Amino acid sequence: MKHVEQMDLFDLIDVEIEQPPEVLNGMYYEQATGLFVSFVCGRRHYEFPAKGCGLNREWQKRTKRFRAI
């Protein structure tokens, strides 16, 4: 019986895969302007003022604390 060796063709190529840059997605609190800002795929989509926005106070506090930019 003949010995068969399997070749790994990708072993010959030195490829480093770069991670895509991290982009903003979701709602954030922008400290400089005092606005809640929505980002989609890193682009500013929608914004509204933090004062008088009418959203849940707990959500506002969490967003200001953990998602401030």
Q: Is residue 43 in a domain? A: yes
Q: Is 9 a residue whose pLDDT tops 80?
A: no
Structural domain contains residue 15: no
Residue 37: closest CA among 29, 67, 55: 29
pTM for the structure as a whole: 0.62
pLDDT digits 0-9 by tens, 16-63 = 778 877 888 889 999 999 899 999 988 998 888 888 777 788 988 998
b/e 22-59 (16+ beta carbons within 10 angstroms → b): eebeebbbeeeeebbbbbeeeeeeeeeebeeeeeeeee
Q: Is residue 65 part of a domain?
A: yes
Q: Is residue 19 part of a domain?
A: no
**Count of domains observed in the chain:** 1
Rounded CA-CA distance 59/9 in Å is 52
Quote the domain boundaries for residue 69. 28-69
In this predicted structure, the answer to whether residue 2 has a pLDDT above a threshold of 80 is yes
Q: How far apart are the first and last CA of the chain?
A: 67
For residue 7, being part of any structural domain is answered with: no
Q: What is the pLDDT of residue 62?
A: 92
Q: What pLDDT, on a 0 to 100 scale, did the predictor assign at position 18?
A: 81
